[in-house]
């Protein structure tokens, strides 16, 4: 008796066009963030302002490089997969190497601000690490989920950009006025932005996975937990970016906190706010994707609900047939009289014989 080796399940790849567009959008956004960070840092007059500007620019650059590393690695895997069959190890190696390459390129604009400054080397290393981690995530055998999460992350960035561009009228709508009301309005603005970003993340990821699933057989489609993971992906990437900023970029934040006590407090408040917003995006995105995919599932009660009606109809038919059979078995008064008459006549006819 021999054991049969089962073939591994094929990896459901995303379409090359979708991956290419995603890579272009992610790289473009990362380039804009790095250019903005470099321009903001180099425009400061003294060293203290350069340090604080670097600390402000670090989280955004790290998050953008996470997405760029994942998107470019997906593109590299898609192009390589059209010529070779990549195993799990080769796939992970290609994705991680591509992410590292993206990270090295992204670190150059920051490091070259001042090659003798250790703070810029720390920022460049953090950015490179972020892109490498993003590439490693793309090496997982769920490329469609990673692509949907990356595309949703780009949508989250765009929503944040638009809302921040119109920040003043939005804050006025929330009742910003004096110091207390302005702080309350800023908090509501932050929560609203996070909730709206999570809603967009869940809908974008669901739409991409749903569209890709229509090309597959029903048996090879993704289950609802993968939709939830894709919806939570942007928030998860934001959490990873914040953790990287606090660990790999800890020196930058520490130096910014030494500028003044006020700056230290501001950095702590911003770090806490970023983490809270990332968690809101994570949970709202996951729930939105779950609700969206839940609306497309067939309810078990739809099929089971017809069975009681059919059973009632069948029982009713059988009962009617039983009643008819019982009616035929019970003689009517006329039939009883006829049978009695026949019995009397039969007895009279039988008397001469005796």
What tens digit of pLDDT does each residue of 1-16 get?
444 444 445 566 678 8
Alpha carbon dihedral 41, 42, 46, 49, in 10-degree steps, equals -10
What tens digit of pLDDT does each residue of 104-141 get?
999 999 999 887 778 899 999 999 999 999 999 999 98
Q: Which stretches within the chain are classed as H helix?
A: 16-42, 47-81, 88-111, 118-138, 143-165, 167-173, 179-213, 224-247, 250-257, 261-294, 300-304, 306-329, 333-350
The pTM of the full predicted model, rounded to 2 decimals, is 0.78
* Closest to 62 measured CA to CA, from 149, 2, 122: 122
Residue 169 CA, chain-centre distance (Å), reads 31
Per-residue pLDDT band at 334 (split at 50, 70, 90)? low
Q: Is 41 exposed, middle or buried (0-12, 13-18, 19+ CB in 10 A)?
A: buried
- Whether residue 52 is predicted with pLDDT greater than 50 in this model: the reply is yes
CB 175 within 8 A of CB 114: no
pLDDT of residue 147: 94
């Amino acid at each position: 008796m021999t054991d049969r080796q089962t073939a591994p399940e094929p990896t459901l790849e995303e379409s090359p066009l979708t991956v290419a567009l995603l890579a272009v959008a992610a790289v473009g956004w990362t380039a804009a963030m790095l250019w903005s960070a470099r321009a903001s840092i180099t425009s400061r007059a003294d060293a203290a302002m350069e340090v604080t500007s670097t600390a402000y620019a670090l989280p955004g650059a790290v998050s953008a490089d996470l997405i760029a590393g994942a998107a470019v690695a997906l593109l590299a895997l898609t192009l390589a997969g059209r010529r070779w069959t990549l195993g799990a190890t080769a796939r992970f190696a290609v994705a991680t190497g591509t992410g590292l390459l993206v990270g090295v390129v992204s670190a150059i604009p920051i490091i070259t601000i001042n090659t003798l400054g250790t703070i810029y080397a720390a920022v460049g290393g953090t950015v490179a690490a972020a892109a490498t981690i993003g590439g490693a995530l793309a090496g997982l055998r769920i490329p469609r989920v990673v692509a949907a999460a990356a595309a949703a992350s780009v949508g989250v960035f765009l929503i944040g950009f638009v809302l921040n561009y119109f920040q003043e009228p939005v804050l006025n709508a929330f009742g910003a006025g004096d110091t207390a009301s302005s702080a309350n309005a800023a908090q509501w603005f932050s929560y609203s932005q996070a909730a709206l970003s999570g809603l967009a993340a869940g809908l974008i990821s669901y739409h991409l996975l749903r569209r890709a699933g229509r090309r597959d057989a029903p048996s090879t489609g993704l289950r609802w937990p993968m939709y939830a993971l894709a919806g939570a992906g942007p928030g998860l990437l934001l959490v990873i970016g914040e953790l990287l900023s606090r660990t790999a970029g800890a020196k930058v934040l520490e130096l910014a906190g030494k500028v003044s006590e006020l700056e230290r407090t501001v950095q702590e408040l911003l770090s806490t706010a970023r983490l809270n917003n990332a968690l809101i995006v994570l949970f709202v995105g996951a729930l939105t994707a779950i609700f969206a995919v839940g609306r497309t599932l067939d309810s078990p009660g739809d099929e089971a609900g017809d069975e009681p009606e059919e059973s009632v109809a069948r029982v009713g038919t059988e009962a009617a047939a039983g009643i008819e059979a019982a009616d035929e078995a019970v003689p009517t008064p006329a039939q009883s009289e006829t049978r009695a008459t026949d019995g009397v006549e039969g007895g009279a006819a039988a008397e001469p014989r005796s």
